[in-house]
Copies of this chain bind each other. A is one copy, B any other.
Amino acid sequence: MAKESRRVAILEAASSIVSEKGIFNLTLEAVAKEAGISKGGLLYHFPSKEALVQGMVEHLAHNYRSKIARNVEDDPLDRGKWTRAFLNVTFNQGYPNKDMHAGLLAAKAVNPKLMLPLYQAYEEWQTNIENDGLDPIDATIIRLATDGIWLAELLELYNIDDQKKKAVYKRLHEWIQDLYLDAEKKKKEEN
């Protein structure tokens, strides 16, 4: 198999184990078995467990980051584009394999420093959301609520049924539109 696709397959196997069986079952042997290769083969791609987890986080961060960047680029409107992108990607364009989020849990458990790529991504998004041309506190609240959803799902802290989730999304989306109109109105008044 080609190197890159094998790497991704391994990362997905590892994420699936963390997500379904917990971090204590993330052993190199288990990952190798899940990915359909030998333990040695796994160590060829990722020379240590830490390297494997690092790969998981980097993959996750890169995926999320590029999706949000894409949304920002494609947005016909400037004002509010980061807030909209963050909301839209989190609710509607999450990693097809939901398990991928488990990379965060793995990093937190194995070595918190490995979370750096995600941490940096969040710093970037937060800065952009605060300078998105909308009220920065309201925009931050929208981001926090969005995080609340996916973090609670990651930890399986509670179930929010799909209908309610959609209603929340709709309301947040409308709120962004209101903030947009407020800001535009204010701008006109200033001129």
Q: In this assembly, does A115 line the interface, its C-beta being within 8 Å of a C-beta of chain B?
A: yes
**Main SS of the interface on chain A?**
helix
B164 and A140 contacting across the interface, CB-CB below 8 Å: yes
Q: Taking the full assembly, how many copies of this chain does it contain?
A: 2
A156 and B115 contacting across the interface, CB-CB below 8 Å: yes
Q: If the complex has contacts A158-B123, A172-B141, are A109 and B109 also in contact, measured as CB distance less than 8 A?
A: yes
B137 and A168 contacting across the interface, CB-CB below 8 Å: yes
CA A157 to CA B61, docked complex, whole Å: 12
The 8 closest A-B pairs by CB, nearest first: A144-B148, A147-B148, A148-B148, A144-B145, A151-B151, A122-B158, A145-B145, A23-B109
A interface residue numbers (CB < 8 A to B): 22-24, 104-105, 108-112, 115, 118-119, 122-123, 126, 137-138, 140-141, 143-149, 151-152, 155-158, 160, 164, 167-168, 171-172
